[in-house]
Structure 1
Amino acid sequence: MTFTDRLREHVTENRTGMLHDLMFAVVWVGLVSFLFEVVFAGAPSWAYYLFMLAGIPAYFGFFLSLAVAREQS
């Protein structure tokens, strides 16, 4: 099995998950960028990077709570 075949198979199996990951990342980066360009314009750059880094636990927290909500319904 070639690399291209493995890549195609991986994308086919994980299409919706990869799309959800991409959508979360785009929304998170857009929201943080908006906040630091408009609301917190004078904030230090380390705070911006800290908010970007906070996207990692936010991602897992969001999808974990989504899975729990689906289980309960």
Structure 2
Amino acid sequence: MSQIDRLVEYVGENRWEMLTDLAFAIAWVTIVSVLFDVVDGPQWAYYLFMFSGVLAYFLLYGMSEAAIERE
């Protein structure tokens, strides 16, 4: 099996998860960008909010995986 075939298979199996991840990232960056355009906060706080999006994603992902395992 070639690399391309493996990539196509992986994307086919994980299509909805990848779209959900992309939607979360786009929504988070949009919300933080709009918020900091309105508030005109400091640059370090902007980066802190962006990094907290990474933490929020993994927390959300971990909680959903734990909920699925309990069922």
Secondary structure at 1:54's aligned position in 2? helix
Distance 2:67 2:28 in 1: 21
Q: Which of 48, 57, 66 is 1:50 aligned to?
A: 48
In structure 2, the CA distance between the partners of 1:54 and 1:11, relative to structure 1 (3 Å rule), is same
Identity score, percent: 51
- TM-score computed with the length of structure 1 as normaliser: 0.81
Distance 2:4 2:62 in 1: 32
Distance 2:29 2:10 in 1: 26
Where in structure 1 are there 5+ consecutive unaligned residues? Answer: none
- TM-score computed with the length of structure 2 as normaliser: 0.83
How far did residue 71 of structure 1 move? 6.8
1:5 maps to which residue?
A: 5
Where in structure 2 are there 5+ consecutive unaligned residues? Answer: none
